[in-house]
Structure 1
Amino acid sequence: MNKLQSPAVHPADTEPPWDNPRFRNWVAVARACHALERALATKLAPLGLKPAQLDVLMNLHRHPGMSQHDLARRLLVGRSNITMLLPQLETRGLLRREGDEKDKRILRLTLTAEGEALLTEALKVHTALIEVAMGQSTPEQCDMIGDQMRKIAEVVKAG
């Protein structure tokens, strides 16, 4: 049995999980994440961006020239999702897709000047939201939260 598989349920273990600190706090994390995603979507709307599009712009800024396949892997989405997102951003003049010099089957992605400018504005919005959300925490608490979330992600990924 791997770490994510549930052990057999025994009749004595059928108590509702509401009072279990792991369950209760996991629900709190999920609710906070959902609230932040909704707030980010609302705050990005005046810029004509959705959170998934912001993720694309941020990744292309940090890794210019990455392939569509690499972008899909980084964003943890399928290539079909990327295929739907990229034309919208390309039509708006925010990114370019160019054939790889060595392998023409691969498309390399780069931000345009317009894409960089929009990303700069979107990052101001995103950073302000993060500051509000995390402003009640000390830097040490922020590091602890981040460390714990990375550990959780690794455990889940190892499956």
Structure 2
Amino acid sequence: MKCEFDERSSVTLIGKFMKIHYVTLVKVLNKHGLHKGQPYILTCLMKEPRMTQNELAKKLDVTKSTMGTSLKRMEKNGFIVRQQDEEDCRCNRISITEKGRAALEACDKDVSSIIQAMFSKISEDEEEMMNDIFRRMIEGIQSYVP
């Protein structure tokens, strides 16, 4: 038995878009040896070098444990290095490496191409209208109290 969805439904179309967008982004990340969330970490480290794990976790609104797992993987792949803080031996300062910079730059180029393709079929007016609709949808869903 095949499960059918109404292809005209906004909810179905949003879901389909989100899935295609996610799969495409994962392919780009994998191409550059990155995983979900890691470009955000690298971007933070580009803007604010030598952050601690706790600072990164707070800034990106994830748990310390989630950040620790990501950092361990990124360190193993050579995208970051950890160095003991000179003033506080209990914490490490995290820095992006040249390999991390190169991966982020290449990933950013691919993501820009995805965004360009994504908006290639709509006008600037349609994009602005869509942005307004999404803002109102976000407000609506945020006001929902289960």
TM-score (norm 1): 0.67
The amino acid across from 1:65 in the alignment is: R
* SS of residue in 1 equivalent to 2:62: coil
1:61 maps onto 2:57 in alignment: no
Deviations 1:44-94 (A, max 9, x none): 322222232223222322332232223223333221111111111112221
Query: Runs in 1 of length 4+ with deviation above 4 angstroms?
Result: 143-151
Cα distance, 1:153–1:83 mapped onto 2, change above 3 Å: farther
Match of 1:11 in 2: none
1:156 maps onto 2:138 in alignment: no
RMSD of aligned residue pairs (Cα, Å): 3.2
The amino acid across from 2:142 in the alignment is: V
CA distance in 1: counterparts of 2:82 and 2:133, whole angstroms:
37
- Is the Cα–Cα contact under 8 Å of residues 37 and 51 in structure 1 kept in the other structure? no
The percentage of aligned residue pairs carrying the same residue is: 26
The amino acid across from 2:64 in the alignment is: R
* SS of residue in 1 equivalent to 2:34: coil
- Aligned equivalent of 2:90, options 98, 105, 114: 105
Q: Which runs of 5+ in 2 are unaligned?
A: none
The amino acid across from 2:113 in the alignment is: A
Q: Which runs of 5+ in 1 are unaligned?
A: 1-17
Cα drift, residue 32 of structure 1: 2.0
- Aligned equivalent of 1:120, options 87, 101, 105: 105
The amino acid across from 1:126 in the alignment is: V
Match of 1:77 in 2: 62
Give the number of equivalent residue pairs: 139
